[in-house]
Amino acid sequence: MDNHKIAQILTETADLMEIDGADGFRIRSYRNACQALETMTEQAADIAATEGRKLIDVPSIGKSIAAHIEEILRTGELSVHKELLKKLSPVALEMLKIQGLGPKGIATVLSHFKVPSLGELETLARQGKLRDLPRMGEKLEQKIIRSLESLQLTAGRRLIDVADHLAVELADYLKQVPDVKSVTAAGSLRRGCETVGDIDLLVSGGDAKDVATHFLKHPQIADVIAHGENKVSVHLKEGIQVDVRMLEESCHGAALQYFTGSKLHNVALRDRAKRMGYKLNEYGLFRIHDEQLVAAATEEEIYSTLGLAYIEPELRENTGELDAAEVAEGRPAQLPHLLRIDDMRGDLHMHSTASDGKFSITEMAEAARDRGLEYVAITDHSKSLAMANGLNEKRLLEQINQIRSLAKQVEGIRILCGTEVDILADGSLDLEDDALAELDVVVGSIHSHMNQPAEQMTERILKAIENPNLCIIGHPTGRLQLRRDPFPFDMEAVLKHAKRHGVAMEINSFPDRLDLRDTHVRMCKEIGVKLVISTDSHHTRHLGHMKYGVLTARRGWLEKSDVLNTLPAEKFLAALRKSG
């Protein structure tokens, strides 16, 4: 078991202890240990297995946590964790996802009612039974109902990076079967969706029986949902469903097209086929009048037989892609030439140890360089974000000097001076203009007072855009996927204002955020606002999230020219809004 999985169990235990009203000092020791596990370069399992070495020698890991880690390594679970779940409620952890409730609120609810499921909680809320509990009230009760509704919409869905990593691991595993030619992820994962309901894997080549037998031996499988001749569906221990389909190589393209979806895209494509005298299904494209197969091996030939240019998976949502792909006489297709990950040259949002990052400026820059980037901006938090150790003007100016002298030592990448400055409740920025004017890149973000009414929030962002030092709005809607809804504001008004003032909007690539999201990105393009794609890295490992931001950009129909950090450094700086 890797450090991340151990940390997950310990974090959940700390959450449960918080609901249980445990001592704050003890809870903090769990959280500190998790942070140590997430950042250390060695695996806890290796340390535990090495003679003469002990887990308690790792900083932040004390005697009782070390014993917990050993138990997790030995048994795969933690008895304290299980006991707390039993004592509190099997859905205690899920209740933490309900906005506005929090550990104290959950404790209050659980001390008055039995809550075996979220459905039971919803019933209590709808019957008005929560409002009279201490520190609750009708407003919070309504908020709980709304939050439960949006949780239902996303229930069982996983963030794209989680599904992506699992799919890669399973594909490698399936490729061990003799004669398997390819294993491809289809469905929402291939379309680059921000969350994934289940993982669809298509296996080409190899004997279907062998593939199924091998797959069913995978250690991560929790239970088998269906096992047919050409398809196996399972739940992984992680909770997510995986559908594996074994294909005939001859109709690989047709199956890939069908199982990539989206359903709406497929319905529209089938309608088009029908109008042209064809039938389309997962086995191929057939002429209706004589049932003759006309295309099946590749997606390209299916689209082209239907008079269409190849449509990239990220565009297959039935939002105009079929019209744009039309190749009529004398008119080429109108599809965008989608941005590619290799087009990215810079990353304009990352944190160092000066605020809440885990690595130094040099380490971040070198890691970005090793990933092929040409420039990065260090954008630590500003002073009002005290819990993230945000920088005041003095520390920021010191950091600028530090970066300028580092620039001579770190070869092969340009380090730009930046900040992620808080946009305060009234729309002013958290740092003096004089200090901001010294920087190459000013990202402005909202981290506080997110409950403002939409009108006030809109005014706040419009005012921030008017500050001539601001270059980029960071994670503009503030959402945390599966956890926190975006704060409401007038997106169109903000985008028009940003365009007028030359401010760029960020696509924050952090999988929990993906903010702006695909539909907003497309609005930017239509309005003509420029975008940047950044990782918001707090760890060198997060730099790899860039690909999810790029997928979101592609789903928003972006081309290279729509994204400022595809430009070389000098041109990027010239294109970025300049103060004065």
**H-helix or E-strand containing 223?**
strand 221-227
Which x/- pattern, by CB under 5 A, does the window 193-212 give for Ca ion? -----x-x------------
Nearer to Ca ion, 256 or 429 (CB): 256
CB of 535 to Zn ion, least distance (A): 12
Task: Provide the CA 214 distance to its chain's centre, in angstroms.
Answer: 31
What are 141's two structure tokens? 């009760």
Q: What is the CA radius of gyration of the chain?
A: 26
Nearer to Ca ion, 240 or 465 (CB): 240
Which x/- pattern, by CB under 5 A, does the window 242-281 give for Ca ion? -x--------------------------------------
Which x/- pattern, by CB under 6 A, does the window 448-487 give for ligand DGT? ----------------------------------------
Among 422, 376, 389, which residue's Cα sits nearest to residue 534?
Answer: 376
Q: What residues between 143 and 202 interact with Ca ion by CB under 5 A? A: 187-188, 198, 200
Nearer to Ca ion, 243 or 374 (CB): 243
CB of 268 to ligand DGT, least distance (A): 10
CB of 335 to Ca ion, least distance (A): 24
Q: What residues between 200 and 219 interact with ligand DGT by CB under 6 A? A: 200
CB of 423 to Zn ion, least distance (A): 10
In this structure, are residues 280 and 256 in contact, taking their beta carbons and an 8 Å threshold?
no
Which entry of Ca ion, ligand DGT, Zn ion, none binds 263, CB below 5 to 8 A by partner kind?
A: ligand DGT
- Give the phi and the psi of residue 231 in degrees, each rounded to 5: -150, 135
CA gap 6, 78 in Å, rounded: 10
Nearer to ligand DGT, 53 or 263 (CB): 263
- In 423-528, DSSP assigns E strands to 441-445, 472-473, 504-508
Nearer to ligand DGT, 193 or 306 (CB): 193
Tell whether residue 261 is a contact of ligand DGT (CB under 6 A). yes
Amino acid at 400: I
Q: How far is CA 534 from CA 315, 373, 504, 516, in A?
A: 22, 12, 12, 11
Query: DSSP secondary structure string, 38-58?
Result: HH-SS-HHHHHHSTT--GGGS
How are strands ordered across the β-sheet holding 504-508?
Answer: 346-347, 375-381, 414-422, 441-445, 472-473, 504-508, 531-534
Which x/- pattern, by CB under 5 A, does the window 431-470 give for Zn ion? --------------x-------------------------
Nearer to ligand DGT, 264 or 454 (CB): 264
Nearer to Zn ion, 384 or 445 (CB): 445
Among 6, 5, 10, 13, which residue's Cα sits nearest to residue 85?
Answer: 13
Helix (H, G, I), strand (E, B) or coil at 127: coil
Tell whether residue 187 is a contact of ligand DGT (CB under 6 A). yes
**What does the DSSP 8-state code read for residue 566?**
G
Determine which residue in the list 165, 263, 337, 404 makes contact with ligand DGT, applying CB under 6 A: 263
CA gap 21, 94 in Å, rounded: 17
Nearest to ligand DGT by Cβ — which residue? 261
CA gap 328, 323 in Å, rounded: 10
* Mutual angle of helices 208-216 and 160-174, in 10-degree steps: 120
In this structure, what is the dihedral angle of CA atoms 549, 553, 559, 563, given to the nearest 10 degrees?
Answer: -60
Which x/- pattern, by CB under 6 A, does the window 343-372 give for ligand DGT? ------------------------------
Nearer to Ca ion, 228 or 568 (CB): 228
Tell whether residue 418 is a contact of ligand DGT (CB under 6 A). no
Determine which residue in the list 62, 100, 197, 488 makes contact with ligand DGT, applying CB under 6 A: 197
Determine which residue in the list 196, 208, 325, 473 makes contact with ligand DGT, applying CB under 6 A: 196
**H-helix or E-strand containing 368?**
helix 361-370
- Total residues binding ligand DGT (CB under 6 A): 14
Total residue count of the chain as it appears in this document = 580
Nearest to Zn ion by Cβ — which residue? 445
What are 1's two structure tokens? 């078991």
Tell whether residue 266 is a contact of ligand DGT (CB under 6 A). yes
Helix (H, G, I), strand (E, B) or coil at 377: strand
Provide the binding-site residues for ligand DGT, judged by CB under 6 A.
187-188, 193, 196-198, 200, 258-259, 261-263, 266-267
Provide the binding-site residues for Ca ion, judged by CB under 5 A.
187-188, 198, 200, 243
Provide the binding-site residues for Zn ion, judged by CB under 5 A.
445
